[in-house]
Amino acid sequence: MIFLLDDNPNTPFPDVSLAEKEPDGLLAVGGDLTPQRLIQAYRLGIFPWFTDGEPILWWSPDPRTVLYPEKIKISRSLRKTVRKKVYKVSFDHDFEGVIRGCAEPRDNSPGTWLVPEMIDAYHQQHQLGLAHSVEVWEREQLVGGLYGMAIGGVFFGESMFSRTADSSKIALLHLSRKLIHWGFKMIDCQVYTSHLASLGAEEIPRVDFCGDLDRWTRLEGRAGSWADEGKIYPECEGC
């Protein structure tokens, strides 16, 4: 059974245990992308994903792919890239540029899931101090980055992009180091990919994921803009 959501952003979501097994995690259809609805969804382990022309689809797959910041894997090639200090990294300096970069069609897909409705919704969250971007720069050009939502002690990763080798990995590495410093517990990666697994992401049962969310989204976290972190060269202990 797939649930239909009405237009009231405060209408509760159905329990995630009721999500479909095929397609994996499809839970509900409809509703809207208001800040209230999105925040409620993330706290419950639910996220929107749909393409242009489709209604809003809400998902909670099982298992869930997560990355614990302290477990990020740094390959030998990535260590070499970091040591060269070719790239600079910033936070919340160009949210628009990052989300537009993430919306660019990929080599294996001519379309994008980041439709205008989604972009507008995350812009609203950015203005509220909940959505954040990590930018990677080379000679003052934006060459990679990622964005997502931060609620309590959890960062909900949404998308990343690279225009040069290792630039999105640099963004994730630097984000992980900052999240450790700030006391964050987990990065939600949503669904498994071999690329994420190579960086240390792992699958956990949805019931465990939701239990962690219930505890960790209640933490103090780091609300507001992260832009005061400035633009700095990425460094990592042990690289």
Q: Kindly state the tokens that stand for 77.
A: 């090639």
Residue range(s) defining the domain that contains residue 52: 3-63
Residue 192 CA: distances (Å) to CA of 5, 51, 62, 139, 199? 27, 19, 10, 33, 12
137 token code pair: 């720069």
User: Does 132 lie in the same domain as 73?
Assistant: yes
| Residue-level pLDDT, tens digit, the chain, 239 residues | 789 999 999 999 999 999 999 999 999 999 999 999 999 999 999 999 999 889 999 999 999 999 999 999 999 999 988 888 889 999 999 999 999 999 988 766 545 679 999 999 999 999 999 999 999 999 999 999 999 999 999 999 999 999 999 999 999 999 999 999 999 999 999 999 999 999 999 999 999 999 999 999 999 999 899 998 766 655 554 45
- Domain count within the chain: 2
Q: Are residues 222 and 147 in the same domain?
A: yes
Task: Note whether residue 144 is domain-resident.
Answer: yes
- Give the end of a domain, one of 46, 63, 80: 63
Query: Biggest alpha carbon distance in the chain?
Result: 53
117 within some domain: yes
Give the CA count within 13 Å in the CB-facing half-sphere of 54.
15
Per-residue confidence (pLDDT) for residue 85, from 0 to 100 = 83
Task: Please state, as a whole number, how many other Cβ atoms lie within 10 Å of the Cβ of residue 6.
Answer: 9
Residue 234 lies inside a defined structural domain of this protein: no
**Domain annotation covers residue 93:** yes
Going by the DSSP 8-state scheme, the letter that residue 224 receives in this structure is S
Tokens representing 101 are: 């970069």
Of 48, 63, 78, which residue is a domain's last?
63
Distance from C-alpha of 76 to C-alpha of 60, rounded to nearest angstrom: 34
Quote the pLDDT of residue 108. 61
pLDDT for the residue 112: 64
Q: What does the pLDDT read at residue 82?
A: 86
- CATH code, domain carrying 210: 3.40.630.70
- Same domain for 9 and 82, yes or no, is no
Whether residue 94 contacts residue 139, with contact meaning beta carbons closer than 8 Å, is answered with no
Of the residues 12, 35, 63, the one at which a domain ends: 63
Q: Tell me, yes or no, whether 85 and 161 share the same domain.
A: yes
CATH number at residue 23: 3.30.70.3550
- Per residue, what are the HEC states of 112-171? CCCCHHHHHHHHHHHHCCCEEEEEEEECCEEEEEEEEEEECCEEEEEEEEECCCCHHHHH
